Amino acid sequence: MLDKPQQTTFRPSASWSGLQSLRPLAPVIVLVGLLALVPVLAEGLDQPFLIRVFTRMVVFAIAAVSLNIVLGVAGLVSLMHAALFGLGGYTVAILAEHGTTELLVLVPAAVLGSGLAAAVFGLIALRTAGAYFIMITLAFNQMFFYFFVALERYGGEEGLQVFAPLDVAGMALGGRTTIFYLCLAVLLAVLVAGTRLVDSRFGMVIRAAAGNDRRVSSVGIAPLSYRLAVFIIAGAIAGLAGALLVVSQTFISPAEMSWVRSGDLIVMVVLGGMATVWGPALGAVVFLLLELLLSALTIHWQLPFGIIIILLVLFLRDGLANLIGALRSGDGGRGHD
């Protein structure tokens, strides 16, 4: 009798499993990797100002990703995100005005301040829904905007300049390249944390509540508490982005808190794609890049800019992230009907 050959089953190695777990982060790694080349290209082209320009893009990418936690995951159209973003910036600028230059104090204070503001105002706004939620967040945003416009002690409508050199643990922060990579590292951390958050049980509850909060309530889960938690998380990250804006440009003004800025952030999110965590970061870079290029061509840049944004939103259904996903899958970007 011949022995039957033993069947072998393929068991993926630990290294292979680790690579598979990193697969959702592949677009994040590619995006951050490309941005990491900016200082090298800027030096090669002898255009050092590009580092400062892309630093601003990275900061707004962080803000857009934080908004998408509320908009794309929780399904809440918030128009007070610019206020939370600007509040983080003003926290850093005002404390620096009074002699505090340590970033290990300033940045956590900005995150805490914006997080607390999101908790207080979110607790009120989240008791409404639909158009009422949009209007109340808009009202809160304008409250913050006009408050800082009237705050003449800290620059009022002209904004507040930070003259004191900021430091980390007593050491000088460094030049624009160091600040760029600092902001890029924060963006990477936010994207990775956002991906983990969306894929967690907490993220599943948030997405389920966005789809049908009555069903979530019927199984004993309070949607309000989860929505408030995600609103606070998004607000805290927005405050972090605002703090980095001041660190990078040493200036903040109420213009960063206007409802127009909230609208810009929503366009960045929709342009990049709400279905992914990294899409809004890409949307922020493309949005600001288009703004920069068109404004260099004509003083009437808003018209072609608006037309391009409208066309992109109309024909890219789920944003630039969907186009890239379609190209990766090999269907030529046609998408699915």
All structural domains of the chain with their residue ranges: 47-257
Q: Is the pLDDT of residue 263 over 90?
A: yes
Q: How far apart are CA 198 and CA 189, in angstroms?
A: 14
What pLDDT score was predicted for residue 311?
Answer: 87
What pLDDT score was predicted for residue 323?
Answer: 74
The gap from C-alpha 117 to its chain's centroid, in whole angstroms, comes to 18
Helix (H, G, I), strand (E, B) or coil at 160: strand
Tokens linked to 49: 């100002």
Q: What angle do CA 3, 5, 11 make, to 5 degrees?
A: 145
CA dihedral 115, 120, 123, 126 (to 10 degrees): -70
Please compute the mean of the pLDDT values over residues 258-285 and round it to a whole number. Answer: 92
The count of residues in the chain is 337
**Surface-to-core class of residue 89, CB atoms within 10 Å of its CB (0-12 exposed, 13-18 middle, 19+ buried):** buried
Q: How far apart are CA 108 and CA 82, in angstroms?
A: 18
Residues 59-93: pLDDT tens digits? 999 999 999 999 988 889 999 999 999 999 999 99
Q: How far apart are CA 267 and CA 68, in angstroms?
A: 11
CA atoms lying within 13 Å on the CB side of residue 227 = 28
Confidence of residue 316 (pLDDT cuts 50, 70, 90): confident
What pLDDT score was predicted for residue 113?
Answer: 96
Query: What pTM did the predictor assign?
Result: 0.89
Q: What is the largest distance, in Å, between two alpha-carbon atoms of the chain? A: 97
> In this structure, are strands 167-168 and 171-172 parallel, antiparallel, or unpaired?
antiparallel
Q: How far apart are CA 300 and CA 296, in angstroms?
A: 10
Tokens linked to 131: 């158009």
Cβ atoms of 227 and 206 within 8 Å: the answer is yes
Confidence of residue 23 (pLDDT cuts 50, 70, 90): low
What pLDDT score was predicted for residue 313?
Answer: 78
**What is the Rg, in whole angstroms, of the alpha carbon atoms belonging to the chain?**
22
Beta carbons within 8 Å of 256's beta carbon, 6+ residues apart: 82, 85, 86, 89, 242, 245
Number of C-beta neighbours around residue 26 at 10 A: 12
Query: Of 199, 177, 235, whose CA–CA distance to 73 is shortest?
Result: 199
Q: How far apart are CA 76 and CA 72, in angstroms?
A: 8
Q: How far apart are CA 236 and CA 57, in angstroms?
A: 19
Q: Is the pLDDT of residue 8 over 80?
A: no
Helix residue ranges, H only, the chain: 14-22, 26-36, 38-44, 49-68, 81-97, 103-125, 131-149, 176-199, 201-211, 213-218, 223-249, 259-272, 279-297, 302-315, 320-329
Confidence of residue 18 (pLDDT cuts 50, 70, 90): very low
